[in-house]
Chain A
Amino acid sequence: MLEALAQVFLPNNILLMLAGIVGGLIAGALPGFSATMAVALIVPFTFTMNPTSGLITLGAIYMAAIYGGSFSAILINTPGTPSSIGTTFDGYPMAKKGKGWEAIITATVSSVIGGLFGVLVLLFLAPALAKVAVRFGPPEYFWAAIFGLTIIASLASKSLLKGIIGGLFGLVLGMIGIDPVGGDVRFTFGIPQLQSGVALIVALIGFFCIPEVLTMIKEGVKAYDTVGYQKQKGAFLATTREIFRMPGNLLRSSVIGTIIGIIPGAGGNIANLVAYNETVRASKHPEKFGTGIIDGVVATETSNNATVGGGLVPLLTLGIPGTPVDAIIYGALLLQGINPGPELFTTRANITYAFILSLFVATILMMPIGLYMGKMLHGIVSKISLRYLAPSILFLAILGSYAIRNSVFDVAVMLTVGLAGYAVKELGFHPGPITLGLILGPMAEEGLLQAMLMGKALPQPWTIFFNRPFSQVLIALSLISILWPLITKIVKRSSGKEEVYEKY
């Protein structure tokens, strides 16, 4: 362990770590550049390094990119990575109220806490928790997707029906391309390029970024100006104090993020929305969410960085990637001649512990670098005039949607989705449920069909969905989630509080 720690603090490793943090932050902050992409772009360069240095670099990029996604979520209402979708809900309203800097501080502190929590779990509980990863079979994925979709209720703040329609619209968009189980080409309208479907990043730019820019152009002004904003001394301490006043939120979101990270195939994109939802439900003032309160930002940013450590649990113990980024790290390990799996904690323990400890160090170093960068970005976005801001965002949208798969066609899809996104926004649909449908659709479909096939082995095929303990837990969670408004109503009535429930 000490030897591993000494490795981490080798000067060149610290340098690589710092470079990784800066690179990750920039990639995360740019709309259209996800953590997955940042790690994928850097992987080839790590082949020339020794395994430890390579892993340290990738880990730092990964952790920082997930955090960096919050910057553009807060400043321009576009999630920098899919893990920050929920951060737009309250982070951006905060920026509009002139509290962008507070939102960035909140995101920073929460990310560090969530990141550290995930890494601690990885360090101490990895072998024990690895079993959770393999207990998740097709029926569980199906129910998890259903549970995820129940979140729509709290994302669709105005009209539940439109939230559901939006979610279904997202599910429909997610079906374009090759279907995950049957292998058929669907809904491509005769265009061969659509075989690859609508990439999540492309859709995120389309639904968040383009409508925001077009609104700016239409109004002729930026969505907010912080000219009157004065730098408050002590904003950092005040905000941090406020964050620590909600230990329940921090703990809950950290746990949610870690667990969802452990489940193979699910990552920060789902974790941040689930954590947001649970925080709304646990809150004493759910109606204030979406108006720019720090509770929401704390939830999403804590949970998404907690997925980093969580996702590495199955990767390092069993060789099963927990999140899409881990799948790339898996390949990098193989090429270094390391077999991801049990041997990582035996013959290769030195490398593994150095990697885990480096994540811990990187998460802490992320704070000063992130705050500095966040302040700079906040300054740029608030000072720059519309004539540069709008084209800059459009340029990044084009570059990002191109670089995800090096495809000009994807850029055209981005613009198309963007126009559709502008239209649906004008028609009162929230982008949250749509992207949720897009993320969870393939998971639901795969789980459903694979479970049906599994069921063939049973006398009553459909029982496969109900007779497994993990499935039962997820069904119970989904039911609670759906019935929650009713439950709170009853609780409130019995406690004699009068409150108008105008959600439905």
Chain B
Amino acid sequence: MTYRKSFLIFSGILVLLLTLFSTQTLAAFPDKPVNYLLAFDPGGESDITARLQQKALEDVLGVKVIISYKTGGGGASGWSELVRSKPDGYTIAGHNLPHIILQPLQRGNAGYQTEQLQNIYFFESTPNILAVRKDSPFKTVKDLVEYARKNPEAVTIGGSGSFTANHLGTLEFQKITGTKLTYIPFSGSGTALPALLGSNVTALMTYTTMGASYKDQVRILAVAAEKRSPALPDVPTFKELGYDYVEGAYRGVAAPPGTPPEVIKALEKAFDKVMHNPQVIKKMNELAFDIEYIGAEESRKLVEQRTKYYKEMLEELGLVKK
């Protein structure tokens, strides 16, 4: 075979393959493995959720689901990768509220814009909780608030990062209670915990999942959700205690901008089924995730509504970057 001949044959096959792939995309979704991109490291909350869903999702979609990671920048690397990916539904990524709203607002150019992420589904939330050490003198939220009112800035609240649900939640809580607290950001929920156990902070503003994992070592004063968390049935909500304070993080999946509506619909349906799978529900409850059933359209509305809320909040603090 001459070189030219082989080249021709080779490119012929290539063209054939390419057309095959592109026509099949239109035919029926999905017919090849779906790449489920995560913006956070293995072992983190996003990864754990995705791993729990993986098997059920494969069963529903009838194709393999490959979980891959692109981490860094508090999730921004993964999401800017997503918005540059091919909008065919074969690349989806886990995304988080409020990260995807706050990063573009506060950083200016975060590599993606909130609206670029096509919401498919929000399937879980982890509301904020306020936790203190087991031997802390503060037995209730009221104890802590009263002490904080008398001693401005003396109550230190540890949490995960700046411009996160923990951080903004603490600011919101201050406003509601008329206190002045000192928020100390740590590089993650995991690193904030030793600070509490070692009495380096008075309390933690963290997520329900942390509260459930360390329930032997900390006392949870209240949870910032509309209703009590199934994993922490004895812990009152802030609302029950008379504080109108609801805040937390949501996790879901999104597709690149320009993904066809019917593909989004198919994925939405698939995730809806997955989240009704009793196995998945059981595991998620064990790990103290609150399961949510927020479809594509509702997700968009949720993001819109939260964007408005956070924007006002950041503007009040003078932290919006143009």
**Within 8 Å of chain B (Cβ to Cβ): is A167?**
no
CB distance from B313 to the nearest CB of A (A): 14
**Given A138-B195, A341-B217, A406–B156 Cβ distance below 8 Å?**
no
Query: Whole-angstrom distance from the CB of B18 to the nearest CB of chain A?
Result: 22
Residues of chain A with a CB closer than 8 A to B213's CB: 319, 334, 339-341
How far is it, in angstroms, between the C-alpha of A192 and the C-alpha of B106 when the chains are bound?
13
Choose from B51, B74, B201 the contact partner of A454 (Cβ within 8 Å): B201
Q: Which residues of A sit under 8 angstroms from B81, Cβ to Cβ?
A: 407
Residues of B within 8 Å of A314, CB to CB, are 194
Q: Determine whether the beta carbon of A320 is less than 8 Å from that of B194.
A: yes
| Contact among B48, B74, B182, B217 with A318 in the assembled complex (CB-CB below 8 Å) | B217
Contact of A327 among B72, B183, B190 (CB under 8 A): B190
> Known contacts A183-B163, A193-B77: does B198 contact A328 (CB below 8 Å)?
no
Q: Is the CB of B193 within 8 A of A456?
A: no
B77 touches A337 (CB 8 A): no
Please name all residues of chain B whose beta carbon is closer than 8 Å to the beta carbon of A40 when the two chains form the complex: 41-43, 69
Q: Contact check, A264 vs B194: say whether CB atoms are below 8 A apart.
A: yes
For window 306-329 of A, CB contacts with B under 8 Å fall at: 314, 318-321, 327-329
Q: Which of A43, A182, A184 contacts B43 (CB 8 A)?
A: A43
Asked if B69 contacts A405 (CB within 8 A), the reply is yes
Tell which of B107-115, B124-132, B240-248 binds the partner.
Answer: B107-115
Tell me whether A331 and B47 are in contact (CB under 8 A): yes
- Stretch of A72-80, A110-118, A173-181, A273-281 at the chain-chain interface: A173-181
Complex interface: chain B residues within 8 A of A137 (CB): 195, 198, 200
When C-beta atoms are compared, the residue in chain B nearest to A182 turns out to be B162
The answer to whether A457 touches B194, judged by C-beta atoms less than 8 angstroms apart, is no
Q: Does the CB pair B72–A405 fall under 8 Å?
A: yes
Known contacts: A44-B67, A334-B48. The answer to whether A133 contacts B182 by CB under 8 A is no
Q: Closest residue to A263 on the B side, CB-wise?
A: B194
> Do A185 and B191 touch (CB < 8 A)?
no
Contacts of B76 in A (CB 8 A): 192, 195-196
Q: Which residues of A contact B67 (CB under 8 A)?
A: 44
Is residue A330 within 8 Å, beta carbon to beta carbon, of the partner chain?
Answer: yes
Which residues of A have CB within 8 Å of B161?
183
Question: B74 touching A335 by the CB < 8 A rule?
Answer: no
Assuming the A-B contacts A318-B217, A446-B187, are A407 and B48 also in contact, with contact meaning beta carbons closer than 8 angstroms in the complex? no
What are the interface flags for B206-242 relative to A under an 8 Å C-beta threshold, 1 for contact and 0 otherwise? 0000000110110000000000000000000000000
Q: Does B12 sit within 8 A of A, measured CB to CB?
A: no
CA gap between A329 and B190 in the complex, in Å: 13
Query: Which residues of B have CB within 8 Å of A343?
Result: 216
> Hey, which chain A residues are within 8 Å of B69, CB to CB?
40, 405-406
Which single member of B72, B74, B106, B163 contacts A407 (CB below 8 Å)? B72
* Complex Cα–Cα for A33 and B133 (A): 39
Interface residue B153 (Cβ < 8 Å from any Cβ of A): yes
Whether B71 and A196, one on each chain, are in contact in the complex, defined by CB atoms closer than 8 angstroms, is yes
Establish whether residues A457 and B156, one from each chain, have CB atoms under 8 Å apart when the complex forms.
yes
Give which listed residue, A319, A320, A406, contacts B70 with CB less than 8 A.
A406
Are B109 and A190 in contact, CB atoms less than 8 angstroms apart?
yes
Q: Are A328 and B43 in contact (CB under 8 A)?
A: yes
Type the 1/0 row for B26-68, where 1 means its CB is closer than 8 Å to any CB of A: 0000000000000001111001100110000000000000011
Bound CA span A314–B41, Å: 21
* Complex CA distance for A40 and B190, rounded to whole angstroms: 17
Q: Are B156 and A453 in contact (CB under 8 A)?
A: yes
Q: Which residues from chain B contact A406 at a C-beta distance below 8 Å?
A: 68-70
Interface residue B186 (Cβ < 8 Å from any Cβ of A): yes
Interface residues of B (CB under 8 A from A): 41-44, 47-48, 51-52, 67-74, 76-77, 80-81, 106-111, 151, 153-156, 161-163, 167, 182-187, 190-191, 193-195, 197-198, 200-202, 213-214, 216-217, 283, 286-287
4 smallest beta-carbon distances between A and B, as pairs: A331-B43, A196-B72, A183-B162, A192-B111
A-B contact pairs, 28 of them (CB 8 A): A40-B41, A134-B198, A135-B198, A138-B195, A192-B80, A192-B109, A195-B73, A197-B73, A314-B194, A318-B217, A319-B217, A320-B193, A321-B190, A328-B42, A329-B43, A330-B43, A335-B52, A340-B213, A341-B213, A341-B217, A405-B70, A405-B71, A406-B68, A446-B186, A450-B185, A454-B201, A456-B182, A457-B182
* A44-B67, A135-B198 given; 6 more Cβ-contact pairs under 8 Å: A183-B162, A190-B109, A195-B73, A197-B73, A406-B69, A406-B70
